[in-house]
Amino acid sequence: MIEVRGLTKRYGDVLAVDDLTFAVRPGEVTGFLGPNGSGKSTTLRMVLGLDAPTAGTATVGGRPYAAQPAPLTVVGALLDPGAVLPSRSAFHHLLALAAGNGLPRRRVDEVLADVGMEKAARRKAGTFSLGMRQRLGIAAALLGDPPAVVFDEPLNGLDPEGIVWIRQLMRSMAAEGRAVLMSSHLMSEMELTADHLIVIGRGKLIADMSMKAFIDMNSEREVLVRSPQAETLRGLLATAVDVRTENDGALVVTGLEAAEIGALAAAGGVELHELSPRQASLEQAFMDLTRDAVEYQAETKTETMTGASR
């Protein structure tokens, strides 16, 4: 488990991380979201002992990273895929890491196979594409077979096949009982991959809840309705908060449940050809929430919104 308590980081006048508290539980993929500059990388750097907190603590398996004798066996991380000596081969990069953590050479071959890099193992890292460097970074994260992993923007530079591979890798690591923390700006992928979300804005926690709860809480539910008597139906729905007509004549209703719309239509003798609740997207919910958070913060202080996990 990764635990962050009262974590704070100040760089001069900039309060990059402001009293953050959250936990990343085993068996789940936790998505770490926030607008640009909200403090995600700074938080992850403190979890991984690359930056010292101004206040508060970050621990993995109950201990700060710096106090772990073999950190790669406790938490694997992908932070900066560029951080590899360009003259070193993928194999030797991993071998050096393995040696530093008391891991057998066999693990190097295993993780190279896990990330599909056997053929490129002897090539110099300096010749790798961004996608290959990401794969090498992921191989390094898996080297110590750790119970927790932290991936900062793992999808950068990956092609569609690579993106699907990452999704499956994250899901399988969570299914094996590992704690998986992942940041990404690709909301559609995050929605498919994460079970739980930690959302920060301006260094502060603004949401800590399941993906489903987050989308439900931060977006209006819409129902798509098709009817050959759309105008009559529009009249019957006058009480709905909002009804708009799409280009193809379908109505999109906000403020009533599908069953309520169906009941009104039946009572009014209106024929329906379609009545479908629409699932809001994570992207929509995220934009709504972060816009609200920014507006609210601009006034005085932010109220932290927390919710129960699934």
Ligand X SMILES: Nc1ncnc2c1ncn2[C@@H]1O[C@H](COP(=O)(O)OP(=O)(O)OP(=O)(O)O)[C@@H](O)[C@H]1O
Residues within the interface to ligand X (CB under 6 A): 11, 14, 16, 34, 36-42
Distance CA 109, CA 258 (A): 54
- State which residue, 14 or 259, has the beta carbon closest to ligand X: 14
- Of 175, 233, 215, nearest to 307 (Cα)? 215
Pairing of the two strands 148-152 and 75-78:
parallel
- State which residue, 45 or 178, has the beta carbon closest to ligand X: 45
Distance CA 264, CA 239 (A): 11
Q: How many CA atoms lie within 13 A of 12 on its CB side?
A: 0
User: In angstroms, what is the minimal distance from the CB of 11 to ligand X?
Assistant: 3
- State which residue, 39 or 81, has the beta carbon closest to ligand X: 39
User: In angstroms, what is the minimal distance from the CB of 200 to ligand X?
Assistant: 7
Spell out the long-range contacts of 231-236 with Cβ–Cβ below 8 A and sequence spacing 24 or more: 232/268, 232/270, 233/264, 233/265, 233/268, 233/270, 233/272, 236/264, 236/265, 236/267, 236/268, 236/270
- State which residue, 90 or 205, has the beta carbon closest to ligand X: 205
- State which residue, 168 or 188, has the beta carbon closest to ligand X: 188
User: In angstroms, what is the minimal distance from the CB of 45 to ligand X?
Assistant: 8
User: In angstroms, what is the minimal distance from the CB of 202 to ligand X?
Assistant: 9
Structure tokens of 278? 């629409």
Q: Phi and psi dihedrals of 46, rounded to 5?
A: -70, -35
User: In angstroms, what is the minimal distance from the CB of 48 to ligand X?
Assistant: 13
User: In angstroms, what is the minimal distance from the CB of 239 to ligand X?
Assistant: 42
- State which residue, 156 or 309, has the beta carbon closest to ligand X: 156
Distance CA 283, CA 163 (A): 18
User: In angstroms, what is the minimal distance from the CB of 182 to ligand X?
Assistant: 13
- State which residue, 41 or 227, has the beta carbon closest to ligand X: 41
Q: Phi and psi dihedrals of 66, rounded to 5?
A: -65, -20
**Which three-class secondary structure state does DSSP give residue 129?**
coil
